[in-house]
Amino acid sequence: MSTVLETEEHKALRAAVAALGKRYGRAYSADLARKGEHPRELWDEAGKLGYLGVNLPEEYGGGGGGMAELSIVLEELGAAGSPLLMMVVSPAICGTVIARFGTEAQKRKWLPGLSDGTLSMSFGITEPDAGSNSHRITTTARRDGDDWLLTGRKVFISGVDISDATLVVGRTEDARSGNLKPCLFIVPRDTPGFGRTAIDMELYAAEKQFELVLDDVRLPADALVGGGASGAGEAGSEGGDAGLLQLFAGLNPERIMGAAFAIGMGRYAVGRAVEYAKTRTVWKGAPIGSHQAIAHPLAQAHIELELARLMMQKAARLYDEGDDIGAGEAANMAKYAAGEACVKAVDQAVHTLGGNGLTREYGLASLVTAARVARIAPVSREMILNYVSHQSLGLPKSY
């Protein structure tokens, strides 16, 4: 793929991460996914090399870069067949929120570990009765002396078992209804009352999704991101606009990384299909890749992945330059384009291999469901189309 829009440093990062990804490769990830195990060695090595925290501030052990760099890391690992899904949540969402809004103590406690991978954090916003409508979340925090008591339920939260803590989005008691005034809490994995059950997903992925039950989980005052000093939850008061800013600060990185995940997977699938189409011959010596019915859809998939990457690069640049509003539109569009391109690329790759597209040996069939994740999470295709209809085009809302 062309990299003309990137600096020499970006190209070097891309090449170095691609080499790391290649060393592990698809077989490593697929094997662990089948066993339901975490790609610990790859995670640790990527952390040691500074790739996981490349977006986080240098003074807290990060690389001092931004989403441009972090998205390169995830895309290249994915293109090598070894994506690290937890990069979407740990350094991108949680790391960003803490770096931008955490107290000094929270930054010191979490950022060095999130940067070198020795700590990780999952992110919990989705609820069974709220789903795409996060204004309806009911996970509620109430004051008890200096502490907080957090109660609620979350679903589909990735990687809770392998994370040291989960960044849980709730609301305070006096803001239980109406527009969301969120507050974000860091909940350590083994806190009493914080229960988790793995959801039986039809996905070959190393990272599991969990249903979480928070039953009066007692948290110290400093579990609240920003500690209330920024206005989110001053003693006894509601989460306020500061909480909303914190949440939004995490959503653009989440979407940019959702796009990187999808583009990486799409590139991996097209790469495998092209390799196969060049050598598989069933008619008079002509490889199947010489038939346009096989070649053109792969060319289309390649173009659509390139276009999605272009939008992802735009979103990352806007975000890294501090334009949160501009980045919001671009990040949504990038996630949409990447999700669609990924689903089509994987579908065409499976088709290109004929029967082998469905064998375990070739390993593409399991990507069919994995690719669908890119269309649903972290924000669904329809919610992005809603956003663009309303925000970009000014069309009225139906809901």
DSSP E strands in the chain: the ranges are 121-124, 140-144, 147-158, 165-172, 182-188, 194-198, 209-219, 281-283, 286-287
Q: Please identify, using beta-carbon distances, which residue of 55 and 126 lies nearer to ligand FAD.
A: 126
Q: Is the bond preceding residue 91 a cis peptide, omega within 30 degrees?
A: no
Q: Which is nearer to ligand FAD, 169 or 288 (CB)?
A: 169
To the nearest whole angstrom, how small is the minimum distance from the Cβ of residue 187 to ligand FAD?
A: 13
* Residue 311 Cβ vs ligand FAD, minimum distance, rounded to whole Å: 20
Return the sign of the alpha-carbon dihedral for residues 56, 19, 44, 335: positive
Closest to ligand FAD by CB, 106 vs 126, is 126
Kindly give, in sequence order, each residue whose CB lies less than 8 Å from that of residue 350, ignoring residues fewer than 6 positions away: 269, 357, 358, 364, 365, 367, 368
Looking at the Cβ atoms of 359 and 391, the one nearer to ligand FAD is 391
Nearer to ligand FAD, 351 or 372 (CB): 372
Q: How far is the CB of 386 from ligand FAD (least distance, A)?
A: 5
Q: Least separation, in Å, of the C-beta of 201 and ligand FAD?
A: 6
Angle at 159 between CA 157 and CA 161, to 5 degrees: 110
Q: Which is nearer to ligand FAD, 130 or 277 (CB)?
A: 130
Q: Which of 329, 150, 156 is nearest to 248 (CA)?
A: 329
- Strand, coil or helix: 153: strand
**Beta-bridge mates of residue 182:** 171
Shortest distance, CB of residue 192 to ligand FAD, whole angstroms?
22
Closer of 82 and 158 to ligand FAD (Cβ): 158
Rounded to the nearest angstrom, the gap between the alpha carbon of residue 44 and the centroid of all alpha carbons in its chain is: 18
- Going from the C-alpha of 72 to that of each of 76, 120, 304, the distances in angstroms are 6, 20, 17
Asked whether 252 and 320 are in contact (CB, 8 A), the reply is: no
88: tokens are: 């979407």
In whole angstroms, the minimum distance from the beta carbon of 236 to ligand FAD comes to 27
Give the residue nearest to ligand FAD (CB): 131
Comparison of 158 and 352: residue with beta carbon closer to ligand FAD: 158
Please tell me what DSSP assigns to residue 147. E
Cβ-contact 330, 311 below 8 angstroms: yes
Minimum distance, C-beta of residue 354 to ligand FAD, in the bound complex (Å): 28
Q: Collapse the DSSP code of 329 into the 3-class scheme (helix H, G, I; strand E, B; otherwise coil) and give the result.
A: helix
Closer CB to ligand FAD, residue 298 or residue 337? 337
Distance in Å, CB of 365 to ligand FAD, minimum: 17
Q: Are 131 and 149 in contact (CB under 8 A)?
A: no
Q: How far apart are CA 379 and CA 312, in angstroms?
A: 15
Which H/E stretch holds residue 306?
helix 292-320
209-219 and 147-158: which strand pairing?
antiparallel
What's the closest the beta carbon of residue 374 comes to ligand FAD, in angstroms?
10
Closest contact distance (angstroms) between CB of 397 and ligand FAD is 9
Q: Using the minimum distance from each CB to ligand FAD, give the nearer residue, 257 or 294.
A: 257
Q: Which residues bind ligand FAD (CB under 6 A)?
A: 89, 122-126, 131-132, 156-158, 209, 373, 376-380, 382-383, 386, 399
286 exposure class (CB count in 10 Å sphere: 0-12, 13-18, 19+):
exposed
